[in-house]
Structure 1
Amino acid sequence: MSHSRLDRKYQAKESPLYETDVWECSDIKCGCWMRKSMAFVTEPRCPLCKSEMVGNMRMLPKVITTAN
């Protein structure tokens, strides 16, 4: 099977993307980010490097969360 055929099969299963509020690490060398809706505090620190996190938007698939 060719790569282009695999790519088309994968693309057909991809979820639509939505503008999503996220926290991103302020350290350029660190690529850490998290969805704001999944953060435990209102102004988090980066869990990897402990730098400040800044708000931004990303195009991400919708995540459905349930409370148990």
Structure 2
Amino acid sequence: MYNSRKKPQDEMVEEVTSIWSCTNDECKGWMRDNFSFASEPTCPQCKSPMVKSEKKLTVLVNTSPNQSKD
């Protein structure tokens, strides 16, 4: 008999992560701090300044060799 149940996925580990949030109230843009190439980035969507914040997100590791802060 065919079992149509899916195997359970591995649990996604979450942690409080540093992010940059857009200061424009009409924009919902944000990015992870460790995926930003500038020390004080501008929003890629609306070009407004961004401020540091925190958000509970799934853990991701940035292994890019190009990752360097200005």
Q: Aligning the two structures, in what range does the TM-score lie when normalised by the shorter sequence? A: 0.7 to 0.9
**Distance verdict in 2 for CA 1:13–1:29, change over 3 Å:** farther
Match for 2:43 among 43, 46, 51? 46
Higher helix share: 1
Unaligned segments of structure 1, at least 5 residues = 1-8
Percent of aligned positions that are identical: 36
Alignment of 1:1-68 (within 5 A): 13-67=10-64
TM-score (norm 1): 0.75
Deviating 4+ runs (over 6 angstroms): none
Correspondence for 2:68: none
Name the Cα RMSD after superposition.
1.9
Whichever of the two has the greater Rg, that structure is: 2
TM-score (norm 2): 0.73
